[in-house]
Amino acid sequence: MTEFFTGLFLVAGAAFMMVAALGLVRMPDLPMRLHSTTKAGVLGAGLMMVGVAVYFGDGGVTTRAVAVIGFLLLTAPVAAHAIGRAGYFVGVPLWKRSKIDELKGRYDQKTHTLESPPEMQERSEDGTPRT
């Protein structure tokens, strides 16, 4: 029974990581590649660590596996955000069939701060509450 669930978790995690790598190769631009690798990759690695914890069923091993999963869940979104932001500043081109770039023209290129969208700015100057 333990071996069955361990094998299930390991194969499921490996399959998710395979899907992440497939997305990394097939997706057309940087944000889509980040979307693929961050979510599916972290889910795959987390499932494989769950498989390790199930297989040993030991307190120390389970604690370390949970710590690995926690670190992955904490660090992966931050790293993806940093890379995506840096890629946007460097000027990595978006896919040619993207419909809209909502950040266009709203980043100050010197201070790297983001302005609010125009409708938000008008509302806050009028004193009406933001929706």
Residue 129 CB, nearest distance to another protein (Å)? 34
Residue 26 CB, nearest distance to another protein (Å)? 9
**CB half-sphere exposure, 26, CA atoms < 13 A:** 7
- Report which DSSP code applies to 82: H
Residue 97 CB, nearest distance to another protein (Å)? 17
Question: Which amino acid is it at 18?
Answer: M
Residue 38 CB, nearest distance to another protein (Å)? 8
Which residue do the tokens 């690995």 mark?
68
Question: Which amino acid is it at 93?
Answer: P
Nearer to another protein, 77 or 122 (CB): 77
Query: Would you report the helix, strand and coil content of the chain in percent, each value rounded to 5?
Result: 70, 0, 25
- Contact set with another protein (CB under 8 A): 3-4, 6-8, 10-11, 13-15, 17-18, 20-22, 24-25, 30, 33-34, 37, 41-42, 44-45, 48-49, 51-52, 55-56, 58, 60-61, 64-65, 67-68, 71-72, 75-76, 78-79, 82-87, 89-92, 112
* Beta-carbon count within 10 A of 65 CB: 21
Question: Which amino acid is it at 90?
Answer: V
Nearer to another protein, 83 or 123 (CB): 83
